[in-house]
Structure 1
Amino acid sequence: MDDTLAFLITFFALLVTLAILTNRARAKKHYDQELQPNCLLTRWPLLFVTGQRSFFYFSNYWNIYPSYLAEHGYEVFHLRLPWSNPGLRKTRLTEFLKSQDEAKRKFHMIVDSATLLEVDSVLRELRPDCVMSVTEIADANPITDGISLKTPVVPQATVETMRSQKTGSFFIKWAYDLHRLLLFGRPLPSLSTLGASKATQLQNSRLILERAQSLAEMDLRAD
């Protein structure tokens, strides 16, 4: 009995250590400082919304994407929704959008495919003025085809990310596999889509940068 308890305590401690270290490891920047010059900047900030999280994937949800855009001069913010409870996430999103409307603020929203399913229903119900556009960061085969058939409430586009079989750190991949296990059955994006794969994170960052410049052109035309 004592041996079993000791084993369980040790195993739990190892899982906690794995979760903390892998979340910290992803927070480190892994891209060079060579920036693309003369980027047209958006009038409104870019808002990255966190997708579904767990103890094994909770920090720095979008990895290098926000800092990469910020390095190019874009104003970047984060909306950290509750970790995984769909009802709480929608409630928090609704409260946030109402508060932004009251404050007369505007922004361009960036989400993953699973979060877009949540966002779309809230946007159709509220029709907020604060959301100027929605950008979906998706795997090569998006899960949101049903949404794409509907007339969007706001301008919407999908950035299909590049994927690679090389995921980088074995421990980061292992932690993300445990994250998927805890949220089993939910359409979670890949590590590559979230910018956590060294093999594709810079290429995908550039794709999102191209989208940001398209949004800047849209803002300019609106003026």
Structure 2
Amino acid sequence: MDTLALLLSLFGFLVALAIWTNKARSRQHYDSALQPNCLLTRWPLLFVTGPRSFFYFSNYWNLYPSYLAEHGYEVYHLRLPWSDSLLRQTRLTEFLKSQNAAKRHFHLVLDSYSLRELEPVLRELKPECLISITEIADAGSKDINSLSAPFVPQETLKTLPSSKGSFFVKWAYDLHRLLLFGRQLPSLSCLGAVKQTQLQNARLLLERAQVLAEMDLREGDTTC
């Protein structure tokens, strides 16, 4: 009976930890003046969710999308299935085909693991709706650029590292990694979940967005 009570208590604690840390990340705000005169992209920025679990499922990219949106960029999310690679690839295939049919275009933003995982779909389809690929990577990671023959402009954005952050959020993320054992998942700092680096990394992404805007502008000029 004591063992059952202990197990139930542990389960309750883990559930509370997962819910609280996901909500805590969602409540994070930044206090910084907006950078003026940002050149905006012609096409939206599409953030793809990486592998998720009960300990890391909400607000996958933390403040990055809202930071760009507040600077005037059109930002969307593609929420793929949580962790099954086959389901994630299937969902991406369906999405890309539907966007091609609708003649829509966007700039893709995803983490290094997701790029490797979804690369077969991108390489096979070479979707016309895709204008560029931005890979968000950890500072110490090797240059991945998984597409051996990129069919669109592709860039790896190396984020600033940090070992700091909320103790409970880090603990929950360690459990998230444990559940998805064997996958080279990005760090919390890479995903914008560490207060000490999140704003600096968001500014790096803003610089990338302005480069994409310049690219859109040049391509728009050539089609006139």
TM-score class, shorter-chain normalisation, is over 0.9
The residue number in structure 2 matching 1:97 is 96
Residue 42 of structure 1 corresponds to which residue in structure 2?
A: 41
Q: Matched residues in 2 for 1:121 and 1:143: separation? A: 20
Show the counterpart of 1:22: 21
- Stretches of structure 1 that go unaligned for 5 or more consecutive residues are none
Sort the Cα spacing of 1:146 and 1:156 in 2 relative to 1 into closer, same or farther, 3 A.
closer
**C-alpha spacing 1:181/1:52, structure 2 compared with 1 (3 Å):** same
Question: Per the alignment, do residues 146 and 211 of structure 1 end up closer, same or farther by CA in structure 2, a change over 3 Å counting?
Answer: closer
Alpha-carbon deviation of 1:154?
1.2
Letter in 2 for 1:222: E
Work out whether 1:196 is the aligned partner of 2:206. no
Identity %: 70
Does 2:137 align with 1:169? no
Amino acid at match of 1:145: I
Residue 178 (structure 1) aligns with: 175
What is the match of residue 82 of structure 2? Answer: 83
Q: Provide the C-alpha distance between the structure 1 equivalents of 2:124 and 2:36, rounded to a whole number of angstroms.
A: 40
Equivalent-residue separation in structure 1 for 2:195 and 2:145 (angstroms):
31
Give a deviation string over 1:95-118, Cα, whole Å, max 9, x none.
Answer: 000010011110000000000112
Give yes or no for contact 2:43–2:106 (8 Å, CA) kept in 1.
Answer: yes
The count of aligned residue pairs is 220
Specify the code of the residue in structure 2 equivalent to 1:192.
S
Structure 1 residue matching 2:146: 3-state secondary structure = helix
The alignment's C-alpha RMSD in Å is 1.1
TM-score under structure 2 normalisation?
0.96
The 8 Å contact of residues 145 and 155 in structure 2, kept in 1 or not, is answered as: no
Between the aligned partners of 1:14 and 1:26, the Cα distance in structure 2 is: 18
State the distance in 2 between where 1:125 and 1:143 align.
Answer: 24
Aligned to 1:126: 125
1:212 aligns with 2:209: yes
- Residue 53 of structure 2 contacts residue 82 of structure 2 at CA under 8 Å; is this kept in 1? yes
SS of residue in 2 equivalent to 1:200: helix
Name the CA distance, whole Å, in 2 between partners of 1:121 and 1:216. 27
Match of 2:113 in 1: 114
SS in structure 2 of the partner of residue 145 of structure 1: coil
- Aligned equivalents of 2:17, 2:83: Cα separation in 1: 20
Q: Report the alpha carbon displacement of residue 144 of structure 1 after superposing the two structures with TM.
A: 5.4
1:146 offset after TM fit, Å? 6.4
SS in 2 for 1:90: helix
**Partner SS, residue 184 of structure 1:** coil
Residues 3-44 of structure 1 show CA distances to partners (whole Å, capped at 9, x for unaligned) of 111111111010000000000000023311410000000000
Q: Does 1:67 align with 2:44?
A: no
| Offset, 1:143 | 4.9
Q: CA deviation at 1:222?
A: 0.3
Provide the secondary structure at the position in 2 that maps to 1:133: strand
Structure 2: gaps spanning 5 or more residues: none
* Counterparts in 2 of 1:198 and 1:146: CA distance versus 1, 3 Å: closer
Q: TM-score, normalised by structure 1?
A: 0.96
